[in-house]
Amino acid sequence: MKPIVIIYNPTAGQGRAGERIGEVQALLKEANVDFHLELTEGPATAAGQARTFAAMKEVTAIVAAGGDGTANEVLNGLMQAKEQNGRIPDFGVLPVGRGNDLGYGMRIPHDLSEAVRVLAQNRTRPVDLGFVTGGDFPEGRYFGNGIGIGFDTIVGFEAAKLKRIKGFGAYLVGALKTMLFYYNTPLLNLEHDGGSEQRNALQVSVMNGRRMGGAFYMAPDADPADGLLDICIAGTPKRLAMLGVIVQYLKGTQAGNPHITMFQTTSLRVSPVDATIAVHADGETICTDGSTLEIRIVPHALQVISGHTPD
């Protein structure tokens, strides 16, 4: 077995990743990366593949090649292996899918040739992961970038329905549709390091990384290695005011907006009082009608091959 295993999802980016396999292999060989390429076998198989390869002592790194969903599956497989074996290989990302928010938060370049260069340099840094329990995952699930509760989860659902519009445009159209048809502000119980509170909220973003949807900076100053979750809550803005908030998300300037609350915590418990909630983690559905969620940070859970190293 080669020291670096690339778990490659050819269906990522609506199949465009499959068209880039030759390009990826050529770039890796040109950079003198000693690798084994393993194609995913179908939906939700990357975690099991990562877990299997992580048990092999000769494997030094496992790299997710796809979008955020592929990266999320691979890091979950790695963490399952860590729980079983105590040690795991380093984690890397090659962005060949539609989304790269997870890689972006971990300082991995979006440009494929630059990401290969970072992989070849093999500089690592420790990063935190989040862990969420509830919804369809009572046993819990790890995430690398962030969790969306409410508005932005519905936006993601609506964006995924769009076949002819891709990337940022799909999220923008999804946001407009959600504002028109699914504009709800349920009453939530929130428990965190600062205490407990009850508030109506259109959206709660729980971030380890900085960005969602390829362009929306929910936590522009987040550090994925500081042992903290960055929370961004949109309260009860009217639709027109929410348009202004969305523009601020694009710039990461929402702090100070009267409809926005931002803080840091090591854990967050969210319970809707009179409704259910839709939740995603790294773009993967946690629930569509959930109740109580328990979210916590797992400090320095992984060593990531990154373009950024700590001072």
- Output the domain CATH number for residue 216: 2.60.200.40
The verdict on 283 and 142 lying in the same domain is yes
Q: Which among 122, 146, 173 is the end of a domain?
A: 122
For residue 11, pLDDT beyond 60: yes
Whether 61 and 172 map to the same domain: the answer is: no
Tell whether 35 and 143 lie within a shared domain: no
Q: Are residues 10 and 98 in the same domain?
A: yes
In sequence order, the 6+-apart residues with CB closer than 8 A to the CB of 278 are: 149, 150, 153, 154, 157, 287, 288, 289, 290
244 and 99 in one domain? no
Q: Check: CB of residue 157 under 8 Å from CB of residue 171.
A: no
pLDDT digits (tens, 9 = 90+) for 101-145: 999 999 999 999 999 999 999 999 999 999 999 999 999 999 999
| In a domain? residue 14 | yes
Report the alpha-carbon angle 252-209-157, nearest 5.
80
Considering the domain architecture, whether residues 155 and 92 belong to the same structural domain is answered as no
User: 170 is written with which tokens?
Assistant: 């799909």
User: Does any domain span residue 127?
Assistant: no
Q: Are residues 96 and 170 in the same domain?
A: no
pLDDT more than 70, % of the chain: 99
- Regarding whether 62 and 171 lie in a shared domain, the answer is no
**pTM score:** 0.93
Helix axes 46-54, 68-85, angle to 10 degrees: 40
Q: Domain for residue 253, yes or no?
A: yes
308, part of any domain: no
Query: Residue 309: its pLDDT value, please?
Result: 62
CB 279, CB 286: distance < 8 Å: yes
Q: According to the model, what pLDDT value does residue 168 have? A: 73
Q: Which of 66, 92, 122 is the last residue of a domain?
A: 122
Own/partner pairs for 173-179, CB < 8 Å, 24+ apart? 175/246, 178/151, 178/154, 179/239, 179/242, 179/243
Question: What does the pLDDT read at residue 176?
Answer: 85
| C-alpha span between 188 and 251 (Å, rounded) | 27
Range of the domain at 72: 4-122
Q: Are residues 291 and 163 part of one domain?
A: yes
Residue 10 lies in a domain: yes
Does the pLDDT of residue 174 top 80, yes or no?
yes
Q: What is the mean pLDDT of the chain?
A: 93
Q: How far apart are the first and last CA of the chain?
A: 34
Q: What's the number of domains the chain is made of?
A: 2
Residue 237 and residue 163 share a domain: yes
**Last-in-domain residue among 92, 122, 152:** 122
Q: Is 180 in the same domain as 295?
A: yes
Same domain, yes or no: 257 and 165: yes
Give 52-56 contacts, CB < 8 A, sequence gap 24+.
Answer: 53/1, 53/5, 53/7, 53/89, 54/78, 54/81, 54/82, 54/85, 54/88, 54/89, 55/81, 55/84, 55/85, 56/1
